[in-house]
Amino acid sequence: MEEGSSSQCNVVQRRMLAYRVTADFMDEYVRMGESTAMKSLKKFVKAVVSIFSDEYLRSPNNEDIARLLEVGQSLGFPGMLGSIDCMHWKWKNCPAAWKGMYTSHIHESTVILEAVASHDLWIWHAFFGLPGSHNDINVLDRSSIFSELVEGRAPAVNYSINGNDYTMGYYLADGIYPKWSTFVKTIPSPQGEKRKCFAELQESTRKDVERAFGVASSTIRNYTSTRKIFLSQNT
């Protein structure tokens, strides 16, 4: 069949997203062919993005930056814009032909999400889709996290530490990230009270992004079975 009714499309969209069933399963369930099911799901995803992207898929504006800096200051990290990390989303229904590419360090098929989260768990940067065989550095190399900064379009970030003025914010990160001024990492095997205090504070605050991942994992089902939508070049 070429097109499904509204009720058929609603059933297809919800079953594919909520229960992770494949598009070809819909032929038996609602008598809708695989290509039509995928077309219906694409339209639904595009509609969701069109309606909600301006609010939930946007970079921080000047007001947001001011709020993030205020929160960072209150946590003992003036200039901090959030915490960055990657997580692996398990892809239960990964096609057998792709398993080698998507097999991660946990020996399962995964898709990687890079995110920056604030203390209140706002994920204001998300880069999703690279195969699980990549590591955090590979993901960072392909990420758009610094695109606006490089292009000179990033909102102004102004703060002072010990009487010195700075115009570039930073993110709390774990040890795998490079030694850039935009990443503040913990101190391995810290010696002395000051270094120990800093390491403890950095490690506890950086858990904001891990908490955000945990909340996302527990409240949103894994939609990576519909991964072919995002792989398609015909958008």
| CA–CA gap between residue 12 and residue 134 (Å, rounded) | 32
Task: Say if residue 178 is in the same domain as residue 86.
Answer: yes
Confidence of residue 24 (pLDDT cuts 50, 70, 90): low
Rounded to an integer, the average pLDDT of 134-158 is 89
Please give the sequence-ordered ranges of beta strands (E in DSSP) within the chain, or none if there are none.
Answer: 80-90, 110-117, 123-131, 159-161, 164-166, 170-172, 183-184
48 in any annotated domain: yes
pLDDT greater than 90 at residue 119: yes
Task: Say if residue 144 is in the same domain as residue 29.
Answer: no
Q: What pLDDT, on a 0 to 100 scale, did the predictor assign at position 233?
A: 40
Rounded to an integer, the average pLDDT of 114-133 is 93
185 in any annotated domain: yes
Task: Say if residue 40 is in the same domain as residue 142.
Answer: no
What one-character DSSP code corresponds to residue 113? E
| CA–CA gap between residue 122 and residue 23 (Å, rounded) | 32
65 in any annotated domain: yes
Q: Which of 58-62, 122-126, 129-133 is predicted with the least confidence, judged by mean pLDDT? A: 58-62
Task: Say if residue 132 is in the same domain as residue 213.
Answer: yes
CA 84 to chain centre: 9
pLDDT greater than 80 at residue 18: no
Q: What pLDDT, on a 0 to 100 scale, did the predictor assign at position 177?
A: 96
Q: What pLDDT, on a 0 to 100 scale, did the predictor assign at position 143?
A: 93
1 in any annotated domain: no
pLDDT greater than 60 at residue 223: no
Domain residues for the domain of 83 are: 59-231
Q: Which of 28-42, 102-116, 186-200, 205-219 is predicted with the least confidence, judged by mean pLDDT? A: 28-42
Task: Indicate the average pLDDT of the chain.
Answer: 84
Task: Say if residue 92 is in the same domain as residue 208.
Answer: yes
Q: What is the pTM of this model?
A: 0.76
Confidence of residue 8 (pLDDT cuts 50, 70, 90): confident
Q: How many domains does the chain have?
A: 2
Task: Say if residue 36 is in the same domain as residue 104.
Answer: no
pLDDT digits (tens, 9 = 90+) for 53-105: 888 778 888 999 999 999 999 999 999 999 999 999 888 888 889 999 999 88
Task: Say if residue 47 is in the same domain as residue 133.
Answer: no
pLDDT greater than 70 at residue 187: yes
Task: Say if residue 79 is in the same domain as residue 188.
Answer: yes
What size, in residues, is the chain? 235
Structure tokens at 149: 């900064």
Task: Say if residue 49 is in the same domain as residue 71.
Answer: no
Q: What pLDDT, on a 0 to 100 scale, did the predictor assign at position 76?
A: 95
